Each structure stands twice: as C-alpha cells, then as structure tokens.
Chain A
C-alpha cells in the first residue's frame, strides 16, 4: 500500500457535539486532503522528524480530522497538529479542541473548531522510525598528495514503509534538497564538494596503538594517513564533519584515479583533524630497541627509573617525509615490568635527541615527536637516522 498515511476529514453530517466517537454513523463521507508539502528534518543525530503540510477544508463549527498510519512506525505521542496562519485575505481561525485515540488502531482523530468555513493550512509533525541517514565521503588526492577534493554525501534509507513525493530534506547543515523518496528506496545526494583541501600525509610509529611489523626484529608498523583539518583555512570548518565511511582515491597523473583505500572518518568538529588511514608504509622502517633500563632505589620500595629508547629510522622513498613517533609512558612502564600502575611521572633527560614533544599532541602519558626524513640518496641508499628518547620515570613503587 503506497499511501499508508491518510488524513480524512469527516463529513459535516457527522459533526455531532458530544456524541460518542464510536457511535458515529458507519456511512461516512470523507475528503482526503493531499500533502501539499513535506519536510523531512534529519538534523537530530538519532531522530527523524517529518512535517507534512496539507490544506484541510473545514466547515464552521467542530470538524473531525482523522489521521491514520497503518504499517508505519510513526511515534503517535510525537504527533503535533498546527494550524498555520490564515492564507492571505482569509480570517479563518481554527483550533484543535481534543485528540481521540481509538483502540487497537494506528490512528487518531483531531476535533478542530473553525470560526468559518474554508480551507486551513495545517502542519502535521511526527517522529518517524525506519527513515534514517548516513554520511559518506569520497576523497580524491592530487598526484602530489598535497590536496584533496572532498565530496560529502548524504544517504537516506527509507524503510519506513511510506513513500514521500517531492520532499524537502534538511540534514542540519549545508544545502537543502527537494527529492522524492520512494518505498524502500535509498537516496544519495551530494551535500558539499570541497576542492583543494590541504592534506598532510603522515607516517606514524606508535607501538601501543599500531604495534610491530616484526616483533623479533623490533620493527614497528608505520601506518600512513591523510590528515586534513576541518577549518576555514582548509575551505572547511563551517560545520562538524559527521561520522562516515571515506573512500580514498589518488590522481594517477594520467587523467584517471586509483582507489587507494577506505576508512571510517570519525565525527570531526571544526578545527579538529580528521585522519584517514591509508595502509602501512613499507618504504619507511623504524626499529625500536630499549637500550637502557636502570632503576635507582630512592628509599624503601620507592624507585626511579632511567630508560633510553633507541629508534633507527630509514626512508627508502624518493621523497622526503615526516615521521611521527609516539610513546605512551604508561605502556612503556608495563613493557619493562615496572610495578606501578599510577599515572606516570616522567621527565625528559639529556640523552634525548628528539625535538619536542609536540605540546598539541602530547599529554601526561603520551609523548609525540616529529622527525624529518630526507629522501633516499641519488645512489639509492637510504640514510639511517638514529634517535634516542631518554626518560626518567619517578616515584614508582
């Protein structure tokens, strides 16, 4: 059944004052005011609100307006019936007197009093289940991986068992659309296209989060990400980027694009960074060893530790790159078998050759450093960089 939602105006002959509703005559004359306009509000994170506008013919006095929704998931408690301002030149005043709910039916009856006979413009709003939205992205990087063309799509799935003709759609930001949404249809619309969004391609070594490529050889995984910032300078920043899947392509330099991976993009408020995972880099190697682990007894069972981590880094790429090294001191402490489980109290010692840590990416436990890696030499040889992180971990027991 295509049109499950019916609004019916009972004939005037039925408009008895206080007559019991179920005692109304079974022979009815009804008019079926059609939808003049539908708006689907998708701005709430979980709830879909539908607003229908209909022109309802009323007679002077009390009218019955039936609304039924067989086989759809309208939340009846959320139904709001509003009479909009009278049309130009009209003075019809209409008010809802009462709402009656018949037993065992997805229906209700509004008693509407009209000051005069005529047409009233009404809006009926309700929360509808089964009609929901998702976002997804298509990101095309330029050949040099300096910028992205980011397309954001809104996908609406209609399992609500109700079809809507030309419908205004509003996702809470961006453009508004007018589209029909049929039964069981999925509709996808382009919400926005952002050209030339600057990206950083990052290489990260973080044993706690990304683990080892080869544990026996102490070689870390080095995942790659495109990182973009949701800010005005990047041509974005007008709204949060909602959670959604991102398919990533790269300009192959020959007029086409190559698919290079996909990732879930997290909800990204303005000014935050969005990282899209591209896979593991095999041309940058990071070997991590613990070169020193000594403890000094301060008193009783109270110790201070002196730890040095050595990183041997090689870039076999023919382009320079920036490597981000991340250590969690709490995780390091567990790795070294220290007994404490409290927040770590650490300090950088003089043996540290890394610059930083980056204050925006570091906190009480996490240390983040950046290392610039030159391209391999013309001879093809990669220059190995050796860095150390020299830490004291104090007041442990």
Chain B
C-alpha cells in the first residue's frame, strides 16, 4: 500500500477528554488529501511536505489521529495548522502514544460545528532530486544544444500523488542558516549534537520558505507539452517549481526537462593544467551561463553533464561524462572532453647544464710528502649552490583538421627564471602560463629555458619571467 500516511478523524461520539487509546472499539473516518506540496532540498536528505485535508469538526473537542507507518517521517517535525478563518479552532494537545510508534493524536477544540481545511506539515527523508544535463554539439562544434533535467527519486516509503513539487537549489545556504540559528561559524556546524542539528536544520529549511513561492499553474490532466519548470530566485537560493502536479510512486524516479537552449556558442580550448586535469592535454568546451548564450535563466545546479557531438548522419558521438559544480548565472561552464588523439603534446628536454657553482669552505688539511719538503694545502669544500639550466621544447602537433588554441600551465617550485619568447604570464607566484595557436596540420616547437637556483643560490620561492632565447 502506497498511502501509509493516514489522518483519521475519530468520530465525536467516542470522544472523551483523554480516552482515545483506552477504547478497543473505534470508528474513524479518513479525510483524503486535498493537496500535497513537496519541497525537496538536494543538498540534504530533507523534504518538507505540506498537505491539506478537509475535516468536519463538531463543537467541542475533536480527536485527530495521524499515523505514518513504514515511512521516514521525522515525528518531531509534524505540525498541524488551520487554513483560513481558523478563529475558534485550537489544538489543545498532542499525544504520542507509547504503544503505537509512528502515530500521534491531536485534540482540536472547535467553537462550533464546521468544516475546515487543515494543513499538516512534516519533514521526511528518502526523497531526493538531482540535476543532469545533456550537451549535444553540432557537427563543426561551433554551437551546442544544452538540456537540463531534474530527476526526483522517491525512496520515502510513501506515494505522494498529484503533488506540487518544488526543488530547492543551493547547498551552502542551509548550512549558513543552521550556523546563524546556532550562532556558530559555518565551519563548526558539524560539531552540533545530532538532535540539535536536526532541529536547527528543520528550522532553517522552514525559514527559507517562510513565504510561499509563486505557485505554478496547476494542471489536472497531463499536458501534451513538456512541463515548465518555473525558476524563482529567493534570497540566496533558487526554487524550481514543476508545472502542475506530479505523482512519483514509492521506489520510482521521474526525470523532467528543466530547460533547453539551442545554438549555445561554444569555444574550444586545449589546456594543460596538471592540478586540474592531470598530466595530459585535454580538450574543453567553454560556454557561459548567460542570456547571450541563450542560457542564464537559472544557475546550473550540481549534476552530471553528458556530452555528445552530432556525427553528421543523424547520429551522435559520445564525447564525455563530467560532473559539474553549481554554475551561477553569468559564470562559465567548462566541459572537459579528455585527451584528443588528433593532437600530440610532448615535452622534450633537450639539454641540461649547471653554472654559477658555489662551494662552501670548511676546515683545511695540510699534507707533507715523506722524503722531501713538498707541502700541499687542501681546503675541504663542498658544492653548496648552483644554477641548473634545462632547455625544453613543448612540441605540439595538430592533426585535428582545424586550428586549435592551446594553453599550458606549469608549476615550478623554487627560485626559478623562466626564459622564453613565448610571451608567458604568471598564473601565480610559481606557475607559468602561456598560450599558442596551432594551425591545422602544423607542428610547433615552443622552446623555453628553466633556470633553477639550487640550495645556497636559492634566495626566493618564485618564478621570474625573462624574455630571451630558451
């Protein structure tokens, strides 16, 4: 059975002051859910559920039973509220019976016979959402089509039928709010006790959504067009609201398209950056999440991008799968396609020599040859410092059939002079960056010399750029 969450109105004729669990014969009615709204945080295993039900109250005390067998609801988070004209309605108490886990009772006092809409809200775990993307480059790789998807995964033990689904984009914000509530620095949130953390997390999650986000138009029947996913910025985060309602049965996942942009301009760059991409030259698609590119309507949440290329015959070539981190509006998106077998990238060390050698003098020794008066003074000394010169060529061969841009970034620890005519720049104090264009079919040799001052000669921890023949 999917619907395990039951709100029962115990009929008034059975009601005494606190009698409910003392009765062996009960009669109850089960008011159906009118609406249900799920707000899913992808950074936490946390979903806020708000459901409404219409309940008929009689004058006096009305017991309500709420149970959630075999679900992942946090019992401490369950709250009851009254929608509209709630004057005269009051929750007298809440009872968690000791012999019936995953159940509670509310005693509601009504000043008259009436029908009222109640809202039950609670946190559950087991519902998550994730983003993923499909990028399909055109044949000549000038533009691509980028589609974003959201996938809702329901492992909560409960089926939420026709639910309005809202997805919260943002990771750090909740932690920041927890830190704010706990009056702690963000870095110390992990130190909170489990129970305290949970309470604060729920408070933070609720306060984020203290006002209702604009409700998307409801649709009773499944529309014959892909559903819109409404994106709304709210404070430091984004909320995606899926048009209409969704049903995601327990155990199922559902994936919907969040956005699609055609003809997104893409630039190709080859990069050598060991720290980011390992010891290899990689090819990247570079694009920007802005309106100029046909994007920029939403930040791109963390997710996986699968990259394809049109192979010119109505088909695709698979290029890469890459996880991306949250990309704010206006920021760059870099897709690493891996190495390109059509571009050969070799670093050849041509020559090494040492100069500027310094010796450290220590004690002297005096020698005299037996039999004559030849005397030799030997001052003991050790090499203490020198300059190591290494001549390299960075050789790049381009068989890709198109001109390419290559950027090389290399880190040299120590006191180093980088001598070349490559017009390099410093990425940081010990990292040199230079770029070149390589025409189709061309081979380039980028000569450079590295002068590393060693030991006694080493006075700094830095790279100095020098123009000259490498």
Q: Which residues of A contact B (CB under 8 A)?
A: 16-23, 39, 41, 43-45, 47, 49, 51, 53, 61-62, 77-78, 80, 84, 95-104, 111, 113-115, 123, 125, 127, 170, 240, 267, 269-272, 299-302, 342-345, 363-365, 394-395, 397
Q: Which of A101, A127, A270, A343 contacts B390 (CB 8 A)?
A: A343
Tell whether, in the assembled complex, residue A395 and residue B386 are in contact, meaning their CB atoms are under 8 Å apart: yes
Q: Is B308 within 8 A of A301, CB to CB? A: no
Cβ contacts A to B, 8 pairs, < 8 Å: A18-B221, A62-B222, A80-B308, A96-B226, A102-B252, A114-B224, A115-B224, A300-B379
Per the bound structure, the CA–CA distance linking A269 and B252 in Å amounts to 48
Contact B226 A95 (CB under 8 A): yes
Q: Are B247 and A20 in contact (CB under 8 A)?
A: yes
| Contact between chains at B382 and A61 (CB < 8 Å) | no
Residues of B with C-beta under 8 A to A127:
318
Partner of B319, one of A44, A97, A123, A394: A44
- CB-based contact A300/B380 at 8 Å: yes
Given known contacts A96-B257, A343-B390, is B357 in contact with A22 (CB within 8 Å)?
no
Closest to B319 in A: A44
B224 to chain A: closest residue by CB: A113
Complex CA gap A364/B351 in Å reads: 4
A41→B319 CA distance, assembly (Å) = 11
* B317 contacts chain A at the CB level, 8 A cutoff: yes
Are B256 and A98 closer than 8 Å at their CB atoms? Answer: yes
Is there an interface contact between A17 and B222, defined as CB atoms closer than 8 Å?
A: yes
Contact of A125 among B316, B319, B321 (CB under 8 A): B316
Could you say which of A45, A95, A302 has the most chain B C-beta atoms within 10 Å of its C-beta?
A: A302
Query: Which residues from A are CB-within-8-Å of B119?
Result: none
Q: Which residues 223-257 of B have a CB within 8 angstroms of A?
A: 223-227, 244-247, 249-257
Question: Which chain B residues numbered 279 to 322 have a C-beta less than 8 Å away from chain A?
Answer: 304, 306, 308, 311, 313-319, 321
**Chain B residues with Cβ under 8 A from A100's Cβ?**
252-255
A364–B350 contact, CB under 8 A?
yes
State A344–B351 Cα separation when bound (angstroms). Answer: 9
Instruction: Check if A17 sits within 8 Å of B221, measured CB to CB.
Output: yes
Question: How far is the CB of B308 from the nearest CB of chain A, in Å?
Answer: 7
B220 at the interface (CB under 8 A from A): yes
**Which of A21, A103, A113, A123 gathers the greatest number of chain B CB atoms within 10 Å?**
A103
Kindly identify which residue among B317, B348, B380, B381 contacts A44, using a CB–CB cutoff of 8 Å: B317
A363 touches B349 (CB 8 A): yes
Within 8 Å of chain A (Cβ to Cβ): is B397?
yes
- Whole-angstrom CA separation of A37 from B285 in the bound complex: 30
- Which residues of B lie under 8 Å from residue A170 when comparing CB positions? 311
The residue on B at minimum CB distance from A269 is: B344
Give the docked Cα–Cα distance between A103 and B390 (Å).
60
B213 at the interface (CB under 8 A from A): no
CB nearest neighbor in B for A23: B249
Is the beta-carbon distance between B224 and A345 smaller than 8 angstroms? no
B342 within 8 A of A: yes
- Min CB–CB distance A214 → chain B (angstroms): 33
Q: Besides the contacts A97-B226, A100-B252, what 14 more A-B pairs have beta carbons closer than 8 Å?
A: A20-B2, A20-B249, A21-B247, A39-B315, A44-B318, A49-B318, A80-B306, A95-B225, A97-B222, A97-B256, A102-B252, A270-B397, A299-B359, A397-B382
What chain B residues lie within 8 Å of A47 (beta carbons)?
Answer: 318
- The 7 A-B residue pairs whose C-beta atoms are closest, nearest first, are A103-B251, A300-B381, A17-B221, A343-B352, A101-B253, A17-B222, A49-B318
User: What are the residues of chain B within 8 A of A98 when measuring CB–CB?
Assistant: 226-227, 254-257
Q: Which residue of B lies closest to A113 (CB)?
A: B224
- B352 to chain A: which residues have CB within 8 Å? 342-345, 364
Contact B386–A343 (Cβ < 8 Å): no
- A214 and B450 alpha carbons, distance in the complex (Å): 41
Enumerate chain A residues within 8 angstroms of B361, measured Cβ to Cβ: 300
- A124 CB to closest chain B CB (Å) equals 11
Binary A-proximity of B340-365 (CB < 8 A = 1, otherwise 0) = 01101000111111100101110000
Shortest C-beta distance, B443 to chain A (Å), equals: 8
| B interface list, Cβ under 8 A from A | 2, 132, 134, 159, 161-162, 220-227, 244-247, 249-257, 304, 306, 308, 311, 313-319, 321, 341-342, 344, 348-354, 357, 359-361, 379-383, 386, 388, 390-391, 397, 399, 443
Which residues of A sit under 8 angstroms from B315, Cβ to Cβ?
Answer: 39, 41, 51, 123, 125
Asked if B316 contacts A41 (CB within 8 A), the reply is: yes
Across-interface contacts of B381 in A (CB, < 8 A): 299-301
Residue in B closest to A344 when the chains form the complex, CB atoms? B352
Given A18-B245, A77-B304, A123-B315, check contact A300 B382 (CB 8 Å). Answer: yes
Given contacts A300-B383, A345-B353, A364-B351, contact A20 B159 (CB under 8 A): yes
Are B321 and A99 within 8 A (Cβ)? no
Q: Which residues of A contact B351 (CB under 8 A)?
A: 364
A96–B311 Cα gap in the complex (Å)?
22
Residues of A close to B227: CB separation below 8 A: 97-98
A101 and B254 contact, CB distance less than 8 A: yes
Q: Is there an interface contact between A43 and B317, defined as CB atoms closer than 8 Å?
A: yes
CB of B142 to closest CB in A, whole Å: 20
Known contacts: A41-B311, A301-B383. The answer to whether A395 contacts B251 by CB under 8 A is: no
A343:B349 contact, CB within 8 angstroms: yes
| Complex partner residue of B354 from A84, A113, A269, A345, CB under 8 angstroms | A345
Q: How far is the CA of A267 from the CA of B339 in the complex (A)?
A: 14
Q: Report A289 CB to chain B, min CB distance, Å.
A: 27
Q: A78 CA to B220 CA in the complex, in Å?
A: 31
Write the nearest CB–CB distance from B309 to chain A, whole angstroms. 10
Contacts A84-B314, A101-B254; A18 near B162 (Cβ below 8 A): yes
Please determine whether A395 and B247 come into contact, CB atoms closer than 8 angstroms.
no
Whole-angstrom distance between the Cβ of A167 and the nearest chain B Cβ: 12
CA gap between A267 and B399 in the complex, in Å:
15
Do B350 and A363 have beta carbons less than 8 Å apart?
A: yes
> Which of A17, A22, A363 contacts B252, CB < 8 Å?
A22
User: Of A51, A77, A342, which is within 8 A of B388 by CB?
Assistant: A342
Q: Would you call A113 and B225 a contact (CB within 8 A)? A: yes
Q: Which of B220, B255, B257, B379 is the one whose CB lies under 8 Å from A17?
A: B220
Residue numbers in A under 8 Å from B249 (CB-CB): 20-23
* A80 and B255 within 8 A (CB): no
Q: In angstroms, how far is the closest chain A Cβ from the Cβ of B253?
A: 4
B390-A302 in contact (CB<8A): no
With A20-B249, A77-B132 already in contact, the answer to whether A269 and B225 are too (CB < 8 A) is no
Q: Which residues of A contact B134 (CB under 8 A)?
A: 80
Q: Distance in Å from the Cβ of B246 to the closest Cβ of chain A?
A: 8
Q: How many Å from the CB of B450 to the closest CB on chain A?
A: 11
Shortest Cβ gap from A122 to chain B (Å)? 11
Specify which chain A residues have a CB less than 8 angstroms from the CB of B348 in the assembled complex: 363
CA distance A267 to B342 in the complex (A): 12
Q: Which residues of B contact A302 (CB under 8 A)?
A: 357, 359, 383
**A240 to B344 Cα, complex, angstroms:** 10
Chain A residue at minimal CB-CB distance from B149: A99
Please report the C-alpha to C-alpha distance between residue A371 and residue B251 in the assembled complex, in whole angstroms.
Answer: 74
Q: Is there contact, CB below 8 Å, between B247 and A19?
A: yes
Query: Contacts of A301 on B, CB cut-off 8 Å?
Result: 381-383
CA distance A302 to B132 in the complex (A): 62
Q: How far is the CA of A101 from the CA of B390 in the complex (A)?
A: 58
With a cutoff of 8 Å between Cβ atoms, the chain B residues found around residue A240 in the complex are: 341-342, 399
CB distance from A125 to the nearest CB of B (A): 5
Measured in the bound complex, the distance between the Cα atoms of B353 and A170 in whole Å is 50
A382–B330 alpha-carbon span in the complex (Å)? 76
Interface centre among B222, B225, B361 (most CB of A within 10 A): B222
B359 and A61 contact, CB distance less than 8 A: no
Shortest A225–chain B CB gap in Å is: 21
CB-CB < 8 A to B311: which residues of A? 41, 43, 170
Within 8 Å CB of B255, what residues of A? 98-101
